[in-house]
Amino acid sequence: MSWRVEVDGQTCIGSGMCSAIAEGYFAVEEGVSRPLHSDVEPNDEVVDAAESCPVEAIAVWERASGRKLAPEE
Partner 1 sequence: MTTIDPTPRTYPFNTPDRLRLDPFYAELRRQEPVSRVRLPYGEDAWLATRYSDVKTVFADPRFSRAAAVGRDEPRARPTAQQTGILTMDPPEHTRLRKLVAKAFTARRVEQLRPRAQRIADDLVRGMHRKGPPLDLVEEFALPLPITVICELLGVPYSDREDFRVWSDAFLSTSKLSAQQVEDYITQMRGYMTGLIEQRRAQPAEDLLSALIQARDEQDKLSETELVDLAVGLLVAGHETTATQIPNFVYVLLTHPSELEWLRNNPDRVPDAVEELMRFVPLGVNAAFPRYALEDVELGGVLIRAGEPVLASLASANRDESVFDDPEGLDLARESNSHIGFGHGPHHCLGAQLARMELQVALGTLLREFPGLRLGGDEQDVVWKSGMLVRGPQYLPLAWD
Binding residue for partner 1, selected from 38, 39, 42, 56, defined by CB under 8 A: 56
Considering the complex, what minimum distance in angstroms separates the CB of residue 32 from partner 1? 8
Q: Tell me, rounded to whole angstroms, the distance of Cα 42 from its chain centroid.
A: 12
- Site residues (CB under 8 A) for partner 1, limited to 11-40: 13-17, 20-21, 30-31
Binding-site size for partner 1 (CB under 8 A) equals 19
Please count the other Cβ atoms lying within 10 Å of the Cβ belonging to residue 48. 15
Q: Examine residue 52 and tell whether it contacts partner 1 (CB under 8 A).
A: yes
Contact 36, 51 (CB under 8 A): no
CA Rg, the chain, in Å?
11
